[in-house]
Amino acid sequence: MSSSTNRRVFREYVGAQQSEVNLTDVPVNPNVGEFHFILSFAIDYTSDSAPQPTNGNFSPSWNTSHHTPEAVAGFKRRHPDGPNIPKARVMLSVGGDSVMERANVFFSPVDEDSWVRNAVESLSAIINNYNLDGVDIDYEHFRTDAAMFTRCIGRLLTELKARKPGLITSIAPYSDTESSTPIYGRDTTDQDDIRYYNTQANNNFAGGRVLAAINTNRPGRHQHRQPGCGPPGVQRAEPERLPGIFFWSADASHNQNQGFTYEARAQQMLANN
């Protein structure tokens, strides 16, 4: 299947684990519909030894001397848009788990209006500096209720899209992981995995796409079985209904000297079906 008719997306986080991986190190299959790198993470915390929240004033936590605006531009030049070429995009992710493992990153606005105002301005500056194509939301810890989170993130993304039409947006659902726990038993089949993702897409994210997740940082976990691309049996389980695959992370693959084997296999699967 050519990239011109393939809407499946491959996405991978990069930067959070401070490795020396380059954006150009990861293979890009020309027949994948879309390829997204996600710089990780933009955080609204100070960077000192006792990090404190900054109420929506975001700054990059990735190595800005390694993952630079010039590096992003170079990656895009290497993979320009065109017929039968995957849409190569670079985004940023907001939140994450921790500040260099020194403190958890909490969603903790002082108030809704000031957080949104600060977040829009600070993230717009990063997006413009790096010429980024989208924003991913990956908060994992919260000091407010779901209603406040929903309002703040909804307003943030709406205002960012107004400033940059066509901005790609995504979210890594995290707060309700218990709902998926029952399917991750030892006897879970890959068919069950696909049905779960399809059900989530149909019931909870109408109009969007729910992507399967693979973790190259924790070999042996269900999301990353060896020796195949986990779940390895996805290729046998209605792969035409799998809209894409989300990887954590390019840093982990680089640090473990895996040669990006799993990334290549996942993209081949998405390209073939």
Return d(Cα 240, Cα 206) in angstroms, integer.
18
Residues carrying an active site annotation? 140
Work out the mean pLDDT of the chain and round it to a whole number. Answer: 82
pLDDT of residue 206: 55
DSSP 8-state symbol, 83: T
The total of other beta-carbon atoms located within 10 Å of residue 187's CB is: 5
pLDDT of residue 218: 64
Give the residue with greater pLDDT, 194 vs 214.
214
Q: What is the reported pTM? A: 0.81
Give the residue with greater pLDDT, 255 vs 129.
129
Res 36 pLDDT > 90: yes
Instruction: Judge whether 53 and 44 are in contact, CB under 8 Å.
Output: yes
The domains of the chain, with CATH numbers, are 9-272 (3.20.20.80)
Q: Which single residue is written with the structure tokens 């042996």? A: 220
Res 210 pLDDT > 60: yes
- Region of 249 (left: φ > 0; alpha: ψ -120 to 50; beta: rest) is beta
- Model confidence pLDDT, tens digit, residues 138-193: 999 999 999 999 999 999 999 999 999 999 999 886 645 443 344 334 443 444 44
Give the residue with greater pLDDT, 268 vs 200.
268
Instruction: Lowest mean pLDDT of 79-88, 108-117, 176-185, 197-206, name the range.
Output: 176-185
pLDDT of residue 4: 55
The percent of the chain in helix, strand and coil, each rounded to the nearest 5, is 35, 20, 45
Identify the band that residue 109 occupies on the pLDDT scale cut at 50, 70 and 90.
very high
| Secondary structure E strands in 15-51 | 34-43
Return d(Cα 62, Cα 74) in angstroms, integer.
18
